[in-house]
Structure 1
Amino acid sequence: MLSIISAKSVSKTFSQRVPQPGLVGALSNFIAPVTKPVHAVEQISFTIGAGEAVGYLGPNGAGKSTMIKMLTGILMPTSGEVSVLGRRPVEDRIANAREIGVVFGQRTQLWWDLPLAESFELHRRIYRVSDVAFRINRAELVEMMQLSSFIERPVRQLSLGQRMRAEIAMALMHEPKILFLDEPTIGLDVVAKDVVRKFLARTNRERGTTIILTTHDLQDIEEICPRLIMVDEGRLLFDGPLAELRVTFGARRRLTLEFDGEPGAVSLAGAELLGGEGAVREFLLADDGRSLIDLMGALTARAALRDVRLHEPGIEEVIRTHYQARG
């Protein structure tokens, strides 16, 4: 797979003022401020291939947005090297901008008092999209993102979910090779999130658009991104498939057993009984690689088994397990 994004030992450090108490301190802050370094990103390296959909995950302050801003050319790395489509983004911002789309969940690119259709037309002129390509792209994106009912309405009259769908559609209007999304579903209701997720998964699958997605909504990652990059305190913790993340950070599967009646004392070798009531018992399974068939062979209970449900740990549970283990 052709690599189109790379970060090599990238760091970004900001200077933060340290407030001094009292009137003298306030004067000192004005004349000769005391600062301390804040390491937003520290020695992070990764590559992303053409057509990948990658989730960039971490808690608040982990450096997610800072990395996106370096990849899009808004910020310059303090050290290390960033490459996007063979360019250094901060040095080739105009050329880089023509081949990427960017959506920041808390900032808008739409023109507030103009109808949505006019924002699309201005975007076409800025990116010099041909009339034919624009008509084709607009028709497809309006249909996929369900924009037709409000495309002639001023942006200020749109709901948050409508605006976000429009933002993503506009970011793809010039057919970028890469789409950067920073918290695209923040504040959206369940219906709007579902539309956005399905659209992004389809765009990645059918158009081959490379997607880099930062989010706090872990369902975004599970539905859109087969690969996950996890960071914390500016450092890289994990880079790989979601299934491998579960193994790496040790979240365990749960098994729910439902019996025909009260089963009495139930034991399952290699599993920890979590609890249950009536005819239901729930176990936490050990990470010993045994199959469900092997586990069930070791089951002891008085009542007959009616149903078995195996629950793989979700990404939220995996990450919570990691942070709890860290202390």
Structure 2
Amino acid sequence: MSIITVDRLSKFYPVAVKEPGLKGTLTHFFRRTYRNIPAVQDVSFSIEPGEFVGFLGPNGAGKTTTLKMLTGLIHPSSGRISVAGHVPYRREAGFLQKITLVMGQKQQLIWDLPTLDSLRINAAVYGIPEAEFRRRLGELSEMLSLDRQLTQPVRKLSLGERMKAELLAALIHQPKVLFLDEPTLGLDVNAQSSVRDFLRKYNQQFQATVLLTSHYMADITALCRRVLMIHQGKLIYDGSLDGLLEQFSPCREVTVELGQDPQPQVLERFGHLKAIEGRVAHFIVPQEALTQFLSRLLAELDIADLTVTDPPVEAVIGRVFQSGGLDNTGDGASA
């Protein structure tokens, strides 16, 4: 049974329309008219318990609006949502015990107090007994490699330490469903890796369901086997990340190390020559022509080494969004 079910979910925001000039200003003042701006349109998907799902989309696509509806912060205009057996916008106590929302650009910890004080406040809010609080605190702080930082004021923590502390605070009540909105935003490479490792361990150890949005594709590729893609408020893909790359990555990059100095005019005869660096040449080759290209290359050139790689995930996903959705590049969503 799905722990998250979204059926034909939509959210529209009314925006006042004003005509130019004095007449338009007076009309706008006395008899205002509105038009509905769609933020999310007719989105449907379901997520099983324990799944770790990536939620992708460009800025303004509707990701955060969807998360806010899933957590009950805003009311949908239409459609049906069920999260852990609850209707989110009713904000029932049982529902709030089962979910958490972490936003990389927001903080819940009190700036001038030690993290431990904020954690005790959270424990009191969720009615966690002292013994159980200490057990959970020890377990999570060990997983996050937080120790002395818990007794320091939040303002003295590094950005990476603060994000770990935010995660600890958000998970102290052991929610079943995690909604994570850019949890590695602004972190350096080491801090991002540390947060990813923790999220992977938490998902595996507690079988928590996670819906993750991130603009860092390293987060998605490291953690998510399945991805949802939203574009202009509409769900345009629901499936495996590998399936997305296979379906919408029409080219491969072939890197060739030559046994002698290359002659550009000779290499250009083989196809799209991307770059030459010393004796190393880079080609972009359509997937359907790859076998023939490699056979010809090996037969006609002195090859010292050769590798074939997929294009970066960012390039594939960026191409999908630039084209206006999968309807223009492939089969469309598979919800």
TM-score by length of 1: 0.90
Query: 1-side partners of 2:198 and 2:148: how far apart?
Result: 17
Structure 2 contact 225–242 (Cα < 8 Å) conserved: no
Secondary structure (helix, strand or coil) at the match of 1:276 reads strand
Alpha-carbon offset, residue 308 of structure 1: 1.9
Q: Does 1:245 align with 2:244?
A: yes
For 1:180-199, list aligned pairs within 5 A: 180-199=179-198
CA contact (8 A) 2:231 2:321 kept: no
Match of 1:313 in 2: 311
Counterpart for residue 13 of structure 1: 12
> Is the alpha carbon distance of 1:27 and 1:119 closer, same or farther for their aligned partners in structure 2, counting shifts above 3 Å?
farther
Aligned partners of 2:55 and 2:228 also within 8 Å: yes
On the 8 A contact 1:260/1:306 being kept in 2, the answer is: yes
Give the equivalent residue in structure 2 for 1:140: 139
Across the aligned residues of Structure 1 and Structure 2, the Cα RMSD in angstroms comes to 2.4
1:42 aligns to what SS in structure 2? strand
**Structure 1 residues 246-265: aligned runs within 5 Å:** 246-264=245-263, 265=266
Structure 2: give runs of 5+ residues left out of the alignment. 329-335
Give the structure 2 partner of residue 219 of structure 1.
218
**Alignment coverage as a number of residue pairs:** 323
Per-residue CA deviation, residues 225-245 of structure 1 (Å, 9 max, x unaligned), is 111101011001111111111
8 A Cα contact 1:268 1:296, kept in partner:
no
SS in 2 for 1:151: helix
Matched, 1:285 2:285: yes
Q: Deviations over 1:258-298 (max 9, x none)?
A: 122135534898x644342442222223233967xx76434
Asked if 1 retains the 8 angstrom alpha-carbon contact of 2:250 and 2:286, the reply is: no
Distance across 2 between alignment mates of 1:322 and 1:159: 36
Partner AA of 2:58 in structure 1: P
Match of 1:299 among 297, 300, 303: 297
**Counterpart secondary structure, 1:216:** coil
Cα distance in 2 between the residues matched to 1:163 and 1:27: 50
Over the matched positions of the two proteins, sequence identity in percent amounts to 39
Query: After alignment, is 193-202 or 245-254 more displaced?
Result: 245-254
SS of residue matched to 1:13: strand
Q: Structure 1 253/12 Cα, relative in aligned 2: closer, same or farther at 3 Å?
A: same
Range with greater deviation from structure 2 (299-308 or 11-20): 299-308
Q: CA separation in 1, counterparts of 2:220 and 2:278?
A: 36
Taking structure 2 as the reference length, what is the TM-score of the superposition?
Answer: 0.88
Give matches, 1:122-161, under 5 Å. Answer: 122-161=121-160
Check the 8 A contact 1:267/1:299 in 2, yes or no. Answer: no
Residue type matched to 2:208 in 1? T
